[in-house]
Amino acid sequence: MLYFYDNILVILFSGVCLLAFCSCLRKRSRTSAYIAGLFFCLLLNQLATSMVEFLPEFARIYDALYETMPIFNTINAISIAVCLLSLSYECVPDRPIPLYEYFILVGFGLLLLLVPTLTNTPFHLFLYSSALLFYLLYRGIWFCFLIHQKIPKSLHAHNAGMIHILSFIAPLLLLLGLAENYVNIFDLCSHGGIYSYRIFSFDFLFGLSSVFCIRAYAQKETAPQTCEAQIPSLSSIITESVPSISRGTEIGIFHTFCNAYSLTLREQTILAELLHHATYQQISDKLLISSFTVKSHVHHICKKTGVISKQNICEFYERYKNSLPDDDIHSLPSS
């Protein structure tokens, strides 16, 4: 039974890793790159755990290394933490990673590096083996707090129900994982049992997350055929937030502005979204392109218009519009 359990996890982690890697190559998406890196580390961890359980000779070598110099586990845990930190702030692309997050990450890394040098006791074993669980618990609580704040609507764009379920279940499963690890070390091992590297709550959490990721990628692949008609037209985006000017006049001003600065059709569409105060992730979800591509187009718009940053584009457009004489505005074409 455990053999099939291991195979299911390997298939799920491999599937997410492959889908995310393909998405990263096709769309140059940083989010997909972090997801691919995360599930690749989880896949390696799962393979190592499976080999320990089914290959006695490998288990003997692995146990010796884990007790003296657990290089693989340390590098793998730090890599998982880095990927999760990056993914957390991909949910809020307009918010930079604060300095304290780097201090927490450095502290986590130092803990993993220093604990193996201490005397081999049950407490030190628990501290080392639970370090990643504690960091994941922190990230889970952070995500749960984020999901119930005023956050970008793009986070709820797909599978909102699943996201809310994960936000509640992740901290609970990680607390259960800590309890499971405590019992494993202080109860079973103290009474002559064999230490198990497997934490079922950890497996279940990321198994559930992998199903969510596979479903999200599948929906994204089918989205162009099913959702294209739902994307608003360029003219409706332009006039949606400018009720004081007639529809035709505003479109004429917009096209004159775009022609004056030689903006491509894609740049025009993204500019229209920016004028409606959309975030990078909202534009990415609506136009079905990666956030990296959106940022690249915004960079080109800033370069062509001479503005410093995305925040100045709306102000620059308003200045351009106000600088036009009334006679010129009313004589503009409506398309």
Domain co-membership, 104 together with 148:
yes
Distances (CA, A) of 260 to 35, 113, 196, 263, 268: 41, 58, 67, 8, 12
Enumerate residues 6+ apart whose C-beta is below 8 A from 226.
Answer: none
The reported pTM is: 0.67
Q: Does 219 share its domain with 246? A: no
Residue in the structure block whose two tokens are 């218009």: 305
Write out pLDDT tens, residues 156-198: 444 556 677 777 888 899 999 999 988 888 876 655 555 667 8
In angstroms, what CA-CA distances link 205 with 42, 210, 305? 12, 9, 47
Residue 267 near residue 297, CB atoms below 8 Å: yes
Residue identified by tokens 């030190």 is: 124
Residue 55 lies in a domain: yes
Q: What is the CATH number of the domain that holds 34?
A: 1.20.1070
**What is the distance of C-alpha 6 from the center of its chain?**
25
Residue after which a domain boundary falls, among 226, 247, 272 = 226
Residue 119 belongs to some domain of the structure: yes
SS3 percent helix, strand, coil of the chain, rounded to 5, is 80, 0, 20
Residue 335 counted as domain residue: no
Helix (H, G, I), strand (E, B) or coil at 95: coil
Domain shared by 268 and 174, yes or no: no
Half-sphere exposure of 251 (CA within 13 A, CB side): 13
Instruction: List the structure tokens of 56.
Output: 């006695």
Q: How far apart are CA 134 and CA 112, in angstroms?
A: 12
What is the span of the domain harbouring residue 220?
2-226
For the record, the structure tokens of 246 come out as 């007639």
Q: What is the pLDDT of residue 82?
A: 95
Looking at the structure of the chain, the number of domains it has is: 2
Q: Which of 107-111, 192-196, 321-325 has the highest mean pLDDT?
A: 107-111
Please give the span between the terminal C-alpha atoms of the chain, in angstroms, as a whole number.
Answer: 66
In this structure, what DSSP letter does residue 192 have?
T
Predicted confidence at residue 160, as pLDDT, reads 57
Average pLDDT (107-129) is 90
Residues 212 and 287 in one domain: no
Residues 170, 195 within the same domain: yes
The three-class DSSP label of residue 243 is: coil
User: Quick one: 97 and 162 in the same domain?
Assistant: yes
Instruction: Identify whether residues 115 and 136 lie together within a single domain.
Output: yes
Q: Which token pair is 184?
A: 């494993």
Residue 270 inside a domain? The answer is yes
CATH number of the domain that residue 240 is part of = 1.10.10.10
Across the range 269-294, mean pLDDT stands at 83
Question: Does some domain include residue 317?
Answer: yes
Query: Chain-wide mean pLDDT for the chain?
Result: 80
Tokens of 1: 């039974």
Question: What's the average model confidence in pLDDT over 44-56?
Answer: 89
From 173, 197, 226, the end of a domain falls on 226
pLDDT tops 80 at residue 122 = yes
Residue with tokens 């934490």: 199
Q: Which of 75, 61, 74 is nearest to 116 (CA)?
A: 74
- Whether residues 173 and 304 share a domain: the answer is no
Report the pLDDT value the prediction gives residue 34, as an integer from 0 to 100. Answer: 92
